[in-house]
Amino acid sequence: MNIARMRQSARLLHLPVPETEAFQAALIELVRRAADIIPDAPASLYLRPTLIGTDPVIGKAATPSANALLYILASPVGDYFKTGAPMKLLVETEHARCAPHMGRIKCGGNYASALAWVLKAKEEHGANQVLFCPNGDVQETAASNFALINGNEIITKPLTSEFLHGVTRDSVLTIANDLGYTISERNFTVAELKAAVEQGAEAILTGTAAVISPVTSFVIDGKEIPVASTERGTAIRKAVTDIQFGLAEDKYDWLVRV
Ligand SMILES: *Cc1c(COP(=O)(O)O)cnc(C)c1O
């Protein structure tokens, strides 16, 4: 799924599209060669494939690059998940993370586009991240997807072009469905989010690095609203990492043997 997403991003950026088999073979070969520096779980080897256009031409505003370089950064990293860590989200209704037609593309410019609001949220509210909700439409943060866990229902935005289609989002919804949750992929507003959280709903962020980060509070219209519990999100996270660490059966065939 990660390779398919990078191919889609390349297509949407009008870059040459990496060939699936060669790309996967390069990833596996890199992991084999890095075997000695892969730390024990829950630390990991972070893989970040990067694609850049390389045509030696100045006038690229109207002509896509016919050539590109695909390289893969690999780095040992510690556990991104910190038990009990605060995750305070500033709910931002005025600004979008990036241009709406670029939302599902994983590209560096989108992070830069969001950075001003993230830094402002940190400075003015002590927030850890920004939840982008342009015109009240709940979307995602600068680098992770968002879902509301309201009782037995998990609510998250359907796959539109405005936001990044996370592989972890997909894994979490698959596992949560098997755990008996009702999955509702539908648009929802800040007003609905606020009412649900005030009545005890949980909220989570999903992304490859931390898998699931439970949200601990929201800042909405300058007022901090605490989230009552992080229990469900933490349990779903364990169901995912148990598969990653080989502690539970991989019945979805997600693991790649190297
Ligand atoms: C990478 C990313 C995610 C999470 O995607 P995963 O495939 O789950 O790692 C979500 N939102 C944004 C903006 C991202 O860049």
Kindly report the CATH number assigned to the domain that includes residue 224: 3.20.10.10
The reported pLDDT for the residue numbered 204 is: 98
Q: Which of 89, 97, 145 to mutate to test the pocket of ligand 1 (most atoms within 8 A of CB)?
A: 145
Number of separate domains in the chain: 2
Q: Is 210 in the pocket of ligand 1 (CB under 6 A)?
A: no
d(CA 132, CA 98): 10
Final residue of a domain: which of 77, 110, 134?
77
pLDDT single digits (tens) 152-167 = 999 999 999 999 999 9
Instruction: Output phi, psi for 217, to 5 deg.
Output: -160, 160
Q: Are residues 71 and 104 in the same domain?
A: no
222 inside domain: yes
106 as an active site residue: the answer is yes
Does 106 score more than 90 pLDDT? Answer: yes
Q: Are residues 71 and 194 in the same domain?
A: no
Cβ neighbours of residue 52 closer than 8 Å, sequence gap 6 or more = 68, 69
250 inside domain: no
Mean pLDDT of the chain: 96
Does 58 score more than 90 pLDDT? Answer: no
97 inside domain: yes
Kindly report the CATH number assigned to the domain that includes residue 23: 3.30.470.10
For 6, the token pair is: 């990078």
Q: Is 3 in the pocket of ligand 1 (CB under 6 A)?
A: no
Instruction: Summarize the confidence of residues 39-51 as an average pLDDT.
Output: 94
The reported pLDDT for the residue numbered 215 is: 98
In this prediction, residue 22 has a pLDDT band, given cuts at 50, 70 and 90, of: very high
Q: Which residue out of 106, 122, 223, 251 is catalytically annotated?
A: 106
Instruction: Summarize the confidence of residues 15-24 as an average pLDDT.
Output: 98
Q: Is 208 in the pocket of ligand 1 (CB under 6 A)?
A: yes
d(CA 31, CA 82): 26
d(CA 63, CA 152): 50
258 inside domain: no
Does 249 score more than 90 pLDDT? Answer: yes
Task: State which ligand 1 atom lies nearest to the alpha carbon of 97.
Answer: 13
Q: Are residues 35 and 104 in the same domain?
A: no
Neighbouring C-beta atoms of residue 151, cutoff 10 Å: 13
Final residue of a domain: which of 54, 77, 100?
77
d(CA 148, CA 127): 19
Instruction: Summarize the confidence of residues 99-117 as an average pLDDT.
Output: 97
Q: Is 164 in the pocket of ligand 1 (CB under 6 A)?
A: yes
E-assigned strands of the chain? 44-53, 68-77, 88-92, 129-132, 145-150, 153-156, 182-185, 202-207, 211-214, 217-220, 223-226
CA angle 163, 133, 230 (to 5 degrees): 90
Q: 250: burial class by Cβ within 10 Å (0-12, 13-18, 19+)?
A: exposed
Model pTM score = 0.96
